[in-house]
A = this chain, B = another copy of it.
Amino acid sequence: MSKTAGIVIIGNEVLSGKTQDTNSHFLCRELRALGVEVKRISVIPDVVETIGREVAAFSQNFDIVFTTGGVGPTHDDVTMEGIASGFSVKLARHPELERRSRERYGKDLNEARLRMAEVPEGAELVGQDTLYAPVVKMRNVYIFPGIPKILVDRFDAIKERFRDTPFFLKMVYVKEGEGVIASLLNNLLKNFPDLLLGSYPVLDNPEYKVKVTLESKDLGYLDRAFQAFLAALPQNAIHRIEEV
């Protein structure tokens, strides 16, 4: 069994179409490469109760949870409050975050900036050796900001702690359409029920019609499934093969 993960994207700006969320795709790619299986993404508004309920449910259902967004100093930054309420704890000023804020802002420190040192009671800091602003972790929930550049830097600094056994992936670009190869894929799954098998039609490409993905954490199993698939395909149906 892989480690499982869930991602909660918090922000009215995504739901109202003002911002395209790119954080979830970044996290999905990175986590897959680490061998972690992302099982669900939710995009929810900046509402304390909604955040609390969602994060608490994700925390129960998945091994690791990531949240993005809602951690700044303004009125619509209610992620910390939401997560605290979801875990039925209070917000508390984290001494180390407060120390860093005082160091950074000196006499320009104000209430709004101090608010950013408030975390759910019991939360810990991760990556504080290398990161200017460490990641806040509450139980199995890693709390990230919404700004992609900052999220990427912080994730990179701590990602090794998430590593699991890797997935192996083979991709076959097939010249026949899904309507032609569907039954062949069904047969393949009958013989290899644990294979992760994807079939993705491609429009407007003169060279192939479908990208088929075969994936497993068991390389031997994947190889046998892959050989069976190649043998079952009609002659000359393969445009290209890629392996990861």
A residues neighboring B (CB under 8 Å): 9, 12-22, 24-25, 28-33, 37-45, 72-76, 105, 108, 110-113, 115, 147, 149-150, 178-183, 185-186, 189, 196-201, 203-204, 213, 215
Asked whether B40 lies within 8 Å of A43 as measured between CB atoms, the reply is yes
Asked whether B41 lies within 8 Å of A43 as measured between CB atoms, the reply is yes
Report the separation of the CA atoms of residues A25 and B23 in the bound assembly, to the nearest whole angstrom: 13
Report the separation of the CA atoms of residues A178 and B116 in the bound assembly, to the nearest whole angstrom: 11
Question: From A213, which residue of chain B is reached at the shortest CB distance?
Answer: B18
Asked whether B74 lies within 8 Å of A178 as measured between CB atoms, the reply is yes
Residues of B within 8 A of A203 (CB): 147, 149-150
- CB of A171 to closest CB in B, whole Å: 9
Asked, given contacts A72-B201, A147-B201, whether A40 binds B44 with beta carbons under 8 Å apart, the answer is: yes
Asked whether B76 lies within 8 Å of A197 as measured between CB atoms, the reply is yes
Copies in the complex: 2
Asked whether A112 lies within 8 Å of B17 as measured between CB atoms, the reply is no
Residues of B within 8 A of A185 (CB): 74-75
Residues of B within 8 A of A183 (CB): 110-112
Name the one of B12, B29, B181 contacting A196, with C-beta atoms under 8 angstroms: B12
- CB of A133 to closest CB in B, whole Å: 13
7 contacts between A and B (CB under 8 A): A16-B37, A17-B25, A18-B200, A18-B213, A20-B22, A41-B41, A74-B185
Give 13 new A-B contacts, CB below 8 A, not counting A15-B39, A75-B197, A112-B183: A15-B38, A15-B40, A16-B28, A17-B31, A21-B25, A40-B42, A72-B201, A73-B179, A73-B182, A75-B182, A76-B199, A108-B179, A115-B182
